[in-house]
Amino acid sequence: MPAPKKPASAEAASELAGTDTTDRRNRNAKLAQLQDFREDASGQALTTNTGTRIADNKNSLKAGERGPSLLEDFIMREKITHFDHERIPERVVHARGAGAHGYFQAYEAATDLTKADFLNHPDKQTPVFVRFSTVQGPRGSADTVRDVRGFAVKFYTDEGNFDLVGNNMPVFFIQDAIKFPDFVHAVKPEAHNEMPTGGSAHDTFWDFVSLQPESAHMVLWTMSDRAIPVTYRAMQGFGVHTFRLINAEGRSVFVKFHWKPVSGVFSLVWDEAQKLAGKDPDFHRRQLWNDIENGDYPEWELGVQVIAEEDEDKFDFDLLDPTKLVPEELVPVRKLGKMVLNRNPDNFFAETEQAAFHVGHIVPGIDFSNDPLMQGRLFSYTDTQLSRLGGPNFNEIPINRPVCPFHNNQRDAMHRQTINKGRAPYEPNSIDSGWPKETPPAASGGGFESYPQAISGVKLRKRAESFGDHFSQATLFWNSMSAVEKEHIIGAYSFELGKVERTFIRERQVNEILANIDLTLAKRVAENLGLPAPKAPTVTPRKTQLKQSPALSQLNLLAGNIKSRKVAVLIADGVRDADVKQLLDALKKQGASAKLLAPSSAAVKTAEGKALTPDDSMLGLPSIAFDAVFVPGGAQAAKTFGTDGAALHYLLEAYKHLKAIALCGEAGDLASQLYLEADEGLLSGAKAAQVIPAFVAAIAQHRVWAREDKAKRVPA
C-alpha cells in the first residue's frame, strides 16, 4: 500500500533530512543555495551595494572642509536612500507622535533680520500644525520612555509652507548625515531579537556612542531629565542647526531657533516615568488632547539667537557643528512671537500620521547653512516621504497642502489630486502663454533666492579640525546642572549601562567618554557598575569661553506659577465640603485644575450632607498622573483613608516622587501614620485656607528637591 502523501512542508523537510548519498547531495545543494542569501561580514571590506569599497564612511563629500555637501555623493545618497525606505509605512524614526493645530503670531516686525512675511506682521495669525514624537520606539511604544522628543512645526504662511523640524534638545548625536543610518540602526531594537522597544539601554546603542566621541554631548542631554518631560507643553524646542535669515536688503545673519514654553520646563522623575509607561502609555498625547479640549492651550514663544556673519568664528566651537549649542550667556535669545495650540485633529491618521515635515521647506527670508547634518537632511526627507506616503504627491494631502496658491509643471504619479488644466506641462512654453512663470526675487512677495554665499575648496571627504572638540560642551552642560540634576544623570548612566551585557562596552563608555566629560561623573558611574574608576581623562581639555551656563538647568526655567498644573483631590464620605470648594476656587484663579478621586467611582456624601461625584477612583487615576495631592479635612474621611491601602499608597507614591501634598484638618494624622517627615512641600493645617497659599507655592517649584534623599527610603 503506498504511503500517504505528505504536506508540501513535510516533503521539504524530508528532502533536507535525507540519509542516502543522493539525498545528502541534494540537501547540501539546497542548503548551499539558501546560504547564498546569508551574509557574514566578518573580515569583509565595507562596500556600496554594487560592491565598490568605501574608503571613508564618516564624512560626506563636501566642497571644502566646511562647504556644502555635494549631490554627486553617491555613497551618502545610497546609504540614506536605503535607510529612508527601511520601514513601510511607519516612520523609521519618530513613529510615535501626537499632533495639534494652532497659530503663530509675531510680536513685532523683524524686518531687520528677515523678509519672511509671517515674521513681519504682528496683526496676522499664521496657521500651524505641530507634531511631537519620540525617536526610538515604534507607534505602539510608550510616551514616557527616556528618549529625545521631536518638535516639528509646519507654518502655513502666505508665501508657502515653512517647516521647523527640530527636537527638544539643542544638539544631536552626530556631526555628519552620512552617520545617521548608523546611529539609528544602533539605537533601534537590536536586530536579532527586536528588543528593547522604546529605549536605548542596550548594547548596540552604547557600543556605537562609546566609539563615536562626537555623541558625548547629546548622550549627556539624553541621560538628563530633558529626556523624560512631564508633558509636551513643558518641553523646550530647538531647530538644532544653524540657519540663515536674510532681510530685504540681502543682509544675512546666522540664527539658532528656540521654542520656549510659557508653562516652564520641567520633567518626570525616573520611577514616575517607568510607571506611567505601564499604567498610561498615552500619557503625553492624552495630556495634550485634554488640555486643548479644556481650553487650556499650550503656548510657546519663538526666539532666535542672532550671530552676525562677521562673528561666525568668534566662538570656541564651530557654528556649523550640530553637536554644539550657542550658550545663551554669549548670545541671548530674541523673542519673535508666540505659538498657541488650540485645536485637536479630527482624524489622527489623516492629519498627525500623514503630516510630512521637511527641513527643506523654507520661504523667502530663510536659508540654510553648510552644517553637514542639515545638508544630508535636505535630501533625506523627500526621499522618506516617497515610500511612507506612496509617491511624490504627498504635499497634496490636506494636512501638508499649502494655504497659498501653488502651481508648477509637475504631473501625474500615485495619488494625484490636482486636476491640471492646460496643454503645456513645461517651462518655458508659448502654448499656455508661458504660465506658470518665474517670479523675480523682490523685497516682498518675490520668488525664493538662495543666499549668494561664496564657495571655494577642494572636493573631499574630511571633517574640519574645528569639529574636533567633542567634550568641552558636554562638560559645560554637566557643570551647569544643579546637584539634583547631576544625581539624576549619574543614575541614568548607571541604569542604562547596567543593561549592557558586554563589560568592555561599559568600560569604554566610562573610561573614554565619561572621564573626558568629568571625572566625578565617571567615577560615580564606574562605582555603580562595579568597574575600576578612571584616574584621568584620555584627551586634554580645551579652554572654553564659559565654565557654566545657568540657562541649561531646568531648575532655572520654571514659569513661577501653577498654570496648567493638575492636582488630585482625595475625597470620601464625611469629607469637608468647604475645604474642597476653597481649593477648587484657588486653583481656578491660578489657572490650574483638579480631579476629585474617591475609593470608587460612586458619589460620596460630604460632612455637610452634600453629594460629591468623583471624576474617577484613586486606582483609575494614580498619583503619577498629577503634579500634587490635596486631602481635605473631615474626621470620617480621614478614618477611611487611614485604613484604605490605595489611599495610603497614593500619598506614599506622591511623597516619593517629591510632589506637593496638603493634608487638612484630621487628614494631617496620615503623615505620622506613614512616617512622612514634614517639609516645605508636605503641609498640614486645621483648615484649607491655612495651607493653600503654601501648597500653591510648593506646586510652582515643581518638586520638593530637598526631600529626595528621604524619599529614597520610602518603599516604591
CA atoms within 13 Å, Cβ hemisphere of 335: 12
Query: Which pLDDT band, with edges at 50, 70 and 90, does 415 fall under?
Result: confident
Average pLDDT over residues 501-523: 98
Q: What cell does 103 get?
A: 497659530
Contact criterion met (CB below 8 Å) for 539 and 208: no
CATH architecture assigned to 566-711:
3-Layer(aba) Sandwich (3.40)
Q: How confident is the model at residue 10 (pLDDT cuts 50, 70, 90)?
A: very low
| pLDDT tens column, 360-393 | 999 999 999 999 999 999 999 888 888 888 888 8
Looking at residue 90, its pLDDT comes to 75
pLDDT greater at residue 512 or residue 2: 512
Q: What is the pLDDT of residues 74-89, one digit of tens each?
A: 788 878 877 887 765 7
Lowest mean pLDDT among 210-224, 358-372, 497-511: 358-372
Active-site residues, by number, are 94, 167
Q: In this predicted model, what pLDDT tens digit does every residue of 575-591 receive, in sequence order?
A: 999 999 999 999 999 99
Chain segment 626-677, per-residue pLDDT in tens: 999 999 999 999 999 999 999 999 999 999 999 999 999 999 999 999 999 9
pLDDT value at 2 more than 50: no
Task: Return the minimum-mean-pLDDT range out of 33-42, 52-61, 148-157, 249-258.
Answer: 33-42
User: Does residue 13 have a pLDDT over 60?
Assistant: no
pLDDT at site 427: 85
- DSSP secondary structure of 519-536: HHHHHHHHHHHT-PPP-S
- pLDDT of the residue at 435: 85
> What pLDDT, on the 0 to 100 scale, is given for residue 570?
98
327 pLDDT above the threshold of 70: yes
Q: What is the pLDDT of residues 257-271, one digit of tens each?
A: 999 999 999 999 999
Give the pLDDT score at 444: 55
The predicted structure's pLDDT at residue 637: 97
What is the pLDDT, as a whole number, of residue 547? Answer: 95
Please report, in angstroms and rounded to a whole number, the separation of the first and last CA atoms in the chain.
70
For residues 334 and 3, give the distance between their C-alpha atoms in angstroms, rounded to a whole number: 85
Q: Pick from 169, 304, 328: which is nearest to 243 by CA?
A: 304
Q: Report residue 387 CA to chain centroid gap.
A: 23
Could you write out the three-class secondary structure of 138-185? CCCCCCCCCCCEEEEEEEEECCEEEEEEEECCCCCCCCCHHHHHHHHH
Give the whole-number percent of the chain exceeding pLDDT 70. 94
Domain residue limits, the chain: 566-711
The pLDDT of residue 34: 55
- Region 125-138 average pLDDT: 96
Report pLDDT digits (tens) over 417-439. Answer: 888 888 988 888 899 888 888 88
For the segment 44-64, what is each residue's pLDDT rounded down to a tens digit?
777 777 777 788 888 998 999
Residue type for position 375: Q
Mean model confidence pLDDT for the chain: 92
Q: Is 301 helix (H, G, I), strand (E, B) or coil?
A: strand
* pLDDT average, residue stretch 690-711: 96
Joined together, the cell numbers standing for residue 215 give: 555623541
Instruction: Assess whether pLDDT exceeds 70 at residue 37.
Output: no
pLDDT at 500: 98
Indicate whether 12 pLDDT > 60: no
